[in-house]
Chain A
Amino acid sequence: MKVWFRIQRYDPTKDKKPYYATYEVEAAKTDRVLDCLHTILWEQDGTLAFRRSCSHGVCGSDAMRINRKNRLACQTLLQDLNTRRRILIEPLPSLPIVKDLVVDMTDFFKKYEVIKPYLISKTPPPPRERLQSPAERALIDEAAKCILCGACTTSCPSNWGDPSYLGPAALLKAYRFIFDSRDDGAAERLSILDDQHGLWRCHTIFNCVDVCPKEINITWHIAQLKKAAALRET
């Protein structure tokens, strides 16, 4: 079948402002949006820029705005979209554009680094593994699934309004360690999060949950952090 794409193009070194280009692609309904972007790049227009690697929703590199919703191009099949109309492809919102669909992730990863995203343990490691019960492990199962694609943080209106807001991805990572039974860094992390640009900037809008390609209930995790922060103060 024939499918039409309307893709936002922008080369900041040349263009005054972003514009849209339309492409026609022959595709099957089970094709991924990513397959169509490759057809355009390899057969029609080599100047198009986008990120991708694993092509099945694990590496997290091809998050983009597809029909005004943040999704992974490799995890979105044409049959999931209305293909009678042009499919609108835009870069993730709120981040600077490097070119076309490639956004600058520097700020996203800076916020990740702020929350000390590594296990902090005050005890020397035992000769074998640290023990952790299946129930304790289950507490961090969802949070540890995150692929850092940026779909959540860039879909969050609180993040659009407050560029200093840590955002859902960084908060989810903070949860992953604070609620890890092996970690001793909860207090130092919570004092970073317990801030108007931290936890409390989350207004439970649930955009992050709607767009997460790994179906993580991020807002629930942020709520647990809010509880932990509130209890810490009493």
Chain B
Amino acid sequence: MSVIKHDVVIVGAGLAGSMAAVQLAKDYDVALLAKCYPAQSHSSAAQGGIAAAIGNMEEDHLHWHWFDTVKGGDYLTDQDAAKILVHEAPETVYEMEHMGCPFSRTPEGKIAQRKFGGHTRNYGEAPVLRACYSADRTGHALLHTLFEQLVKHEVHVYPEWYCVDLLVEDNVCRGIVAWNMRDSELHVFHTKAVMFATGGGGQAFLITSNAFANTGDGLVVSYNAGVPLQDMEFFQFHPTGIWHRGILLTEGARGEGGTLINDAGERFMEKYSPKLMELAPRDLVTRSITTEILEGRGIGGKDYVYLDLRHLGAKKIMERLPEIHSFIRTYLGVNCITEPVPIQPTAHYMMGGIPTDVDGQVKGGDAKDKDVVGFFAAGECACVSVHGANRLGTNSQLETCVFGKRAGRRMAEWLQDATWAPLPAEPLARINERIARFDAAPGGVTQGAVRRDLKHLMREHCGVFRTKEGLEEGLQMLQELKARFARIKPSTNHGEPYNLDLKETVELENTITYAEVMITGALARQETRGAHARRDFPKRDDVKWMKHTIAHKQPDGTIRLSYSPVALGEFEPIERKY
């Protein structure tokens, strides 16, 4: 066992992790560790834009953005945190531009902006041009800009190192355990601070826009180390994924004027959101598409509807949406300039996560728990909570940059007087126990079968619409799945380079835990709020459920739920209509 020492280790090299690393690089010995190369992080797949009310193309206000974010989150959003998000948006976007991000431009040379779902002028009147974009490759542009800064600041990167454990004792974080994919050796990182920026877990679902890397690792690693998870039942399904594949087609396509069409040729969003139509928030559009499909109005009665871009014309499509034009051509054989595009909702984004304050400091969750000293988180894996029960498009890239930066700065302050807490006596105990368990497994069950069944289960039982019966059955099936998982024996297990089989076994177990926490929270929450839609409780219930869910892992492995208050204030909860 080798022990590697750094002041701070950041796990995850997407936007949030890289942003934090850049803040720290000048003054501290920072290590950035990721299970892929930094520029391969899933932030690169974000397409449509990063929200900031800079008003380059029409009147816009921070207060409007703030209101939209809170209402979009169905009032589960912590309003003080959302205020920071939108108020720091302009300087953050300018900072990215100053670093070199190649934003698209207005004729005057300013950053170009487009419309996006749920972003409105004058408190819900009509869509507003707020999403700063780089064609439909905004995530790629932002991520490569930050990767370039990592090179400039000579940040110590550990690419293809997979974090398998978080070392917390007496509520003090002491480092992590990571596995070098190159030689499959385990290493202990002894640090003063740890930051997780590990992204989400869309791989729990059959149809997802998420990368294969998005298996919920960071969340489950910290959950297993005793850190609770917040609001995990709130999972966003993006309205427009490529049929069957789930590959993201940006909301920017609708922002530029794309429409949604059912089998009868109707623009069905008229029924569900007369004011904002296709630019209603994602939860609403996804439920509308799903309802059309379930009621037999999918195209040819099948499980998809059309995204129609034909009226935008070739010039606009090739200028502003070239990437999705290419995806549609490659994966569907469809030319979106002349043909409508088959789409269906796709599992996309986790609103919940590791609970943090507005500076990335991980909180114990509910009032009884203390902060986890020296442990920070930002980005999709964290729950600040700025997205509440439903995130608005382009607010996630904003969140990664704003809170990645804030976490980095907070860590820099904190490190000034931080000391080295000693490592636990046996830092490798938990992972070695896990690997020994895999070694002793009888075999006879393949990873592929368990993974496939998990994805089907989550889609059927914890998808767009949920019921008590469905969720209970899902939990039951998950227990059976766990029993089958316990039989999996990785074929390679000791010392082989790039040991994908063992890594994916660990990942799959993480995703199963992640799924269990999600279903448990969803079963308990007897209301419909944002992305959590219960058929049996179709209304929001502010009396009983205006509160955050906190899931704790008990010593016997079961889940205990507690609840914590929502930070209200500026905006009174009103009925959410668009």
Residues in chain A within 8 A of chain B (CB atoms) = 11-14, 30, 38-39, 41-43, 45-61, 75, 77, 98-100, 102, 105, 109, 112-113, 116-119, 121, 125, 127-134, 136-137, 140-141, 144-145, 147-148, 176-177, 180, 182-183, 215
| Bound-complex Cα distance A147 to B326 (A) | 15
Inter-subunit contact B36/A61 (CB<8 Å): yes
B26-44 vs A, CB cutoff 8 Å, 1 = contact: the mask equals 0000000000110111101
Stretch touching chain A among B91-99, B232-240, B569-577: B91-99
Inter-subunit contact B500/A54 (CB<8 Å): no
B483-515 residues with Cβ-Cβ distance < 8 A to A are: 490-492, 495-501, 504
Inter-subunit contact B446/A54 (CB<8 Å): no
Interface residue? B212 (CB, 8 A): yes
| Bound-complex Cα distance A145 to B330 (A) | 17
Inter-subunit contact B182/A98 (CB<8 Å): yes
Given A118-B151, A129-B94: A46 in contact with B498 (beta carbons within 8 A): no
Given A53-B42, A113-B151: A59 in contact with B36 (beta carbons within 8 A): yes
Interface residue? B327 (CB, 8 A): yes
B182 partner residues in chain A, CB cutoff 8 A: 98
| Bound-complex Cα distance A141 to B213 (A) | 28
Residues in chain B within 8 A of chain A (CB atoms) = 36-37, 39-42, 44-45, 54, 93-94, 97-100, 102-111, 134-135, 137, 140-141, 144, 148-149, 151-152, 159, 182, 211-213, 245, 247, 323, 326-327, 330-331, 333, 446-449, 451, 490-492, 495-501, 504
Inter-subunit contact B108/A131 (CB<8 Å): yes
Inter-subunit contact A99/B496 (CB<8 Å): yes
Can you list 17 A-B pairs with a CB-CB distance of less than 8 A? A11-B497, A13-B496, A41-B501, A42-B446, A46-B447, A53-B36, A53-B42, A53-B212, A54-B45, A61-B37, A119-B98, A131-B110, A133-B107, A134-B104, A148-B39, A182-B100, A215-B326
| Bound-complex Cα distance A155 to B274 (A) | 53
CB distance from A173 to the nearest CB of B (A): 9
Inter-subunit contact A183/B100 (CB<8 Å): yes
| Bound-complex Cα distance A137 to B326 (A) | 21
Given A105-B37, A130-B98: A12 in contact with B497 (beta carbons within 8 A): yes
Inter-subunit contact B330/A75 (CB<8 Å): yes
Chain A to chain B: the 7 pairs with minimum beta-carbon distance, closest first: A42-B448, A119-B100, A46-B501, A131-B109, A46-B491, A118-B148, A125-B98
In the complex, what residue of chain A is closest to B47 when comparing beta carbons?
Answer: A58
**Total inter-chain residue pairs, C-beta < 8 Å:** 170
A100 partner residues in chain B, CB cutoff 8 A: 498
Inter-subunit contact A57/B100 (CB<8 Å): no
In the complex, what residue of chain B is closest to A143 when comparing beta carbons?
Answer: B102
Contact of B498 among A14, A57, A99, A180 (CB under 8 A): A99
| Bound-complex Cα distance A131 to B109 (A) | 5
Inter-subunit contact B102/A140 (CB<8 Å): yes
| Bound-complex Cα distance A196 to B234 (A) | 57
| Bound-complex Cα distance A55 to B246 (A) | 10
Inter-subunit contact A118/B492 (CB<8 Å): no
| Bound-complex Cα distance A57 to B498 (A) | 22
Contact of A56 among B40, B45, B94, B449 (CB under 8 A): B45
Inter-subunit contact B100/A177 (CB<8 Å): yes
| Bound-complex Cα distance A57 to B135 (A) | 16
B152 partner residues in chain A, CB cutoff 8 A: 116, 118
B144 partner residues in chain A, CB cutoff 8 A: 144, 148
A118 partner residues in chain B, CB cutoff 8 A: 99-100, 148-149, 151-152
| Bound-complex Cα distance A141 to B319 (A) | 10
17 more A-B residue pairs beyond the given contacts A46-B490, A58-B44, A136-B105, with a C-beta to C-beta distance below 8 A? A38-B448, A39-B448, A43-B446, A47-B501, A50-B500, A51-B36, A99-B498, A105-B37, A128-B94, A129-B97, A129-B98, A129-B110, A132-B105, A137-B102, A148-B39, A180-B100, A182-B100
B247 partner residues in chain A, CB cutoff 8 A: 55-56
B109 partner residues in chain A, CB cutoff 8 A: 131-134, 136
A61 partner residues in chain B, CB cutoff 8 A: 36-37, 40
